[in-house]
Amino acid sequence: MPGLSKLTIRPAYSMWPKYNRRLRDVVAGMTAEQLAIQPSPERWPLWATVGHTCCQRVFWLCDFAGEPGAETTPFTDAGNNCPGDDDLEHVLSADELVGALDSTFRIVEGCLDQWSLDMLDEEIRRDDYGPDWVHTRGSVLQRVFSHDVWHCAELNETLKNAGLPQIDLWD
Amino acid sequence: MTTATIRPAYDMWPQYNRRMCEVIREMSSEQLAVRPSPELWRLFSHDAYHCGELSQTLGLHGLPQIDLWRPD
């Protein structure tokens, strides 16, 4: 039997798949008009926030940390072309966003099943990005997880104000 | 048997908490009253969730948001 440090990290993030499902379920039920709602005129529409959340999974886990699978997602150039950050022109539909949530979460699942506690302290360097691009594998994963949750909360504020169903992470 | 703990899975949590405190410390009572007092201190995801919720409101009011991920 492996020691704790050799076990995969899935138990530490056991609720993440549920959070992703809850986000996916809400997005799946939204109309194009609802996805176009902006919290304020200068802030991204909801479709862009969801797309950005998915795209950042790919950027950090694939582009930065080297996980495979970016080509299985809509975000094959996540460092330069993410919804919201780089692109507010190509509006994403609910179906496209659900597909993006599914395909990008498969990359997360790969990390949860293949990364061990030992691996979380490993430093990953991307000198081609710049001298400051040094992060531990653990900090990358925590960043992606907290980023997902952070944007779920942001989405919920707008959904609540619009009288729409919210993403219930806690039930 | 090993003595390893799961700290590496959550070792950014203290930093996230510090960032949240930094922003809250700078807020006036009027700014804090924009929404009901935040309930911040339960779980990792709960913390991050409320950071996002707070940041949405802060941003809408032109106030600095909680940037959990900025480099130190």
**Alpha carbon distance B6, B10 (integer Å):** 7
Closest Cβ–Cβ partner in B8, B12, B52 for A149:
B52
**Alpha carbon distance A85, A98 (integer Å):** 19
Q: Please give the helix or strand (H or E) that residue A147 lies within, else none.
A: helix A137-161
* CA nearest to B55 within chain A: A154
**Alpha carbon distance A29, A25 (integer Å):** 7
Spell out which residues of chain A touch residue B4, defining contact as CB-CB under 8 Å: 3-5, 117-118
In a 10 Å sphere around its CB, with 0-12 CB exposed, 13-18 middle and 19+ buried, how is residue A31 labelled?
A: exposed
Per-residue pLDDT of chain A (171 residues; tens, 9 = 90+): 445 566 788 888 888 999 999 999 999 999 999 999 999 999 999 999 999 999 999 999 999 999 999 999 999 999 999 999 999 999 999 999 999 999 999 999 999 999 998 899 999 999 999 999 999 999 999 999 999 999 999 999 999 999 999 999 887
Q: Considering the entire predicted model, what is its pTM?
A: 0.84
